Structure 1
Amino acid sequence: MAPGGERRTIPLREVVLPHHCPRPVRMDVLSRTPYFAGLDPDALDGIDRRMRARTVRAHEHVYVAGEPADALYVVAQGAVSLAHVTEDGAPTLTDVLVPGELFGAMGTLGEPVHLQTATALVDTCALRIGQDDFRAVLRERPVVALRVLDDVAARLARAHDDIGGQSTDTVPQRVATALLRLAGKVGRDRPGEGLLLEVPLSRADLAALARTTPESVSRVMSGWKQQGVVASGRRWTAILDRDRLEQEARGSA
């Protein structure tokens, strides 16, 4: 409830995209993508020519876990969720990707099949580069090849840190960390409404990101709502007191 007792409602904006990503959008996104950032315009143009734009409607899969992996993607517009699929077929959210972020897999990088399912959260435009074209980029641009190696090493380090964090952090710390991470990617300031996370995430989604249970997330979020730290409704969340949430993430609240 908002101050004064009225019910707070924050509708998410509908995102309607064209069936292609115009060149200025593609070039801007590629210039911000970790593998390609800092390359000169001619190099970016060469990479852009090897890519194909694909429009993916909300809730449509980009690919499904278990399918052969032969391409990498860059989010150009919209947002994409990554999820593991459990043995009973239920998806477990692992990340939310926004423009400029890479996803996908390929045998060249040691992943012959997709280990996760990628799904558009909203209407999304993704840039796709196939395995042969990506190998050509690595040969032509050694700096990109080095960044790929650095990225693989960083992923291993993050996996190690996640294991440690899961065993020592409290549930409020993990939930706060997940919310702040999302805020850094999809947070939008809305005057009078706080920092709105503009992706449709359920309690189960947030629980998966925080590596806890939906019931635990509900208890933590209910307490924070009463204290004015967050506001939430059906598939939306807003951060009202970021300083307090940062304290929760550090375990110093």
Structure 2
Amino acid sequence: MRRLPPRRPGRTNFWDHLSELERRTLVQVGVARRVHVNETLPVRDGPGIAIVTEGAWVRLQAGNARTSRSVIDLAAPGDLISALHPTDPANPQWPEEATDIYGVVLARGVILDVAQEMIPIILGDLPYIPTLIRRIQNDQLHFAWQLQAGRRLKIDIRLARLLLGLLHRFGEKPVGQHNVLMPPLSQGDLAAWIGASETSVGRVLKRWRCEGLVRTGYSTVAITDHKVLRAIADSPTMPYAKLPTTVGEMAAGYLNLGRTRSVPVPADLPPGLHVRGADGHLPQGPYRGTRAQRRGDR
């Protein structure tokens, strides 16, 4: 059976959307340092930008103990470790139970840190960056709140939603005869992300392997039957909706954006869940042309 081309990432990658001038400026004012697997990176409460570069992957989690941690999100090469507090400590928050947030390195690489005192300079000279960060905040919060909203669903539904969400956001890479999800996640990471025990997640993955839905390896998962997994992800009480992955899809899901100070709740989230505090304005895509031209576009 011929392997299909791997699916491309659908999320907004911070570094890829910057101009050369913006990249050079961040490199000049920031400090690059090498990080290693299992290194813990405290996520500061105040302003500051930390960018994952050169191959690193970082798992964002609440709590630092293996048995009590809760995975919140991932940062791939080019991503901000956390987009919620890089420019303003009053930015939106993760779900309520997400306190004492840490970043844990999953694959070694380099982190570019921009200190708090440099943030006003960055915002003043590079006005596109805060707009881009707000767009990434919308992406991250939509994903986090959608998973949080499904915490009472059956484990197989939660796990299917997580795997499909990772597929849409981070894409796949070819490994051997299969395309595997890009993130290097263990079975324990998947369990901590959906709020289930590692044993329960292991049973579901074993059943799916027997049914030909997935293939698993060391910190790898390959989805081999997307249609069936998509059917599993649906629930009569909370239908599954693919996360918006393009500007057009996001515009369709976030109505009446404007320059407000709150994010409209997407239609696929149940009533009562509110995402707080980010600007709902959606930029019209990555950098194009000079800064003056870009200001005119906006």
Q: TM-score, normalised by structure 2?
A: 0.60
Per chain length, whose mean CA-contact separation is higher, i.e. which structure has more relative contact order (CA < 8 Å, sep 6+)? 2
Cα distance in structure 1, aligned partners of 2:75 and 2:88: 20
**Do the aligned residues in 1 keep the contact of 2:32 with 2:113 (CA within 8 Å)?**
yes
What is residue 5 of structure 1 aligned with on the other side? Answer: none
Residues 1:186 and 1:116: Cα distance change in structure 2 (over 3 Å) = farther
What is residue 257 of structure 2 aligned with on the other side? Answer: none
Cα distance in structure 2, aligned partners of 1:153 and 1:197: 22
Matches within 5 A, 1:52-91: 52-61=31-40, 63-64=41-42, 69=46, 71-76=48-53, 77-85=55-63, 90-91=68-69
Between the aligned residues of both structures, percent identity stands at: 22
Structure having the higher strand fraction is 1
Give the one of 107, 113, 124 matched to 1:139: 124
Give the one of 210, 227, 230 matched to 2:214: 230
What is residue 173 of structure 1 aligned with on the other side? Answer: 157
Cα distance in structure 2, aligned partners of 1:205 and 1:99: 19
**Do the aligned residues in 2 keep the contact of 1:221 with 1:230 (CA within 8 Å)?**
yes
Cα distance in structure 1, aligned partners of 2:42 and 2:157: 31
- Considering only aligned residues, what root-mean-square deviation do their CA atoms show, in Å? 3.3
- 1:191 Cα offset (Å): 3.8
Q: Which amino acid aligns with 1:51?
A: G
Residues 1:227 and 1:150: Cα distance change in structure 2 (over 3 Å) = closer
Question: CA offsets per residue over residues 43-96 of structure 1, 9 Å max, x none?
Answer: 3322221122111011122x236x665632111122111111178974332222
Residues 1:151 and 1:236: Cα distance change in structure 2 (over 3 Å) = closer
Cα distance in structure 2, aligned partners of 1:196 and 1:108: 34
Give the one of 14, 38, 46 matched to 1:34: 14
How many residue pairs match? The answer is: 215
- 1:178 Cα offset (Å): 1.5
What is residue 211 of structure 1 aligned with on the other side? Answer: 195
Residues 1:242 and 1:91: Cα distance change in structure 2 (over 3 Å) = same
Residues 1:146 and 1:35: Cα distance change in structure 2 (over 3 Å) = farther
Structure 1 unpaired stretches of 5+: 1-31
Residues 1:64 and 1:143: Cα distance change in structure 2 (over 3 Å) = closer
Matches within 5 A, 1:1-253: 33-34=13-14, 37=17, 39-61=18-40, 63-64=41-42, 69=46, 71-76=48-53, 77-85=55-63, 90-104=68-82, 109-110=88-89, 115-152=100-137, 158=143, 160-167=145-152, 169-184=153-168, 185=170, 187-192=172-177, 194-197=178-181, 200-251=184-235
- 1:151 Cα offset (Å): 4.6
Q: Which amino acid aligns with 2:149?
A: G
Cα distance in structure 2, aligned partners of 1:70 and 1:81: 20
- 1:144 Cα offset (Å): 2.2
Structure having the higher helix fraction is 1
**Do the aligned residues in 2 keep the contact of 1:83 with 1:118 (CA within 8 Å)?**
yes
**Do the aligned residues in 2 keep the contact of 1:73 with 1:103 (CA within 8 Å)?**
yes
What secondary structure is seen at the aligned counterpart in 2 of 1:81?
strand
Deviating more after overlay: 225-234 vs 49-58: 225-234
- 1:217 Cα offset (Å): 1.3
Q: Which amino acid aligns with 1:59?
A: N
Q: TM-score, normalised by structure 1?
A: 0.69
What is residue 4 of structure 2 aligned with on the other side? Answer: none
Cα distance in structure 2, aligned partners of 1:158 and 1:236: 21
- 1:153 Cα offset (Å): 5.6
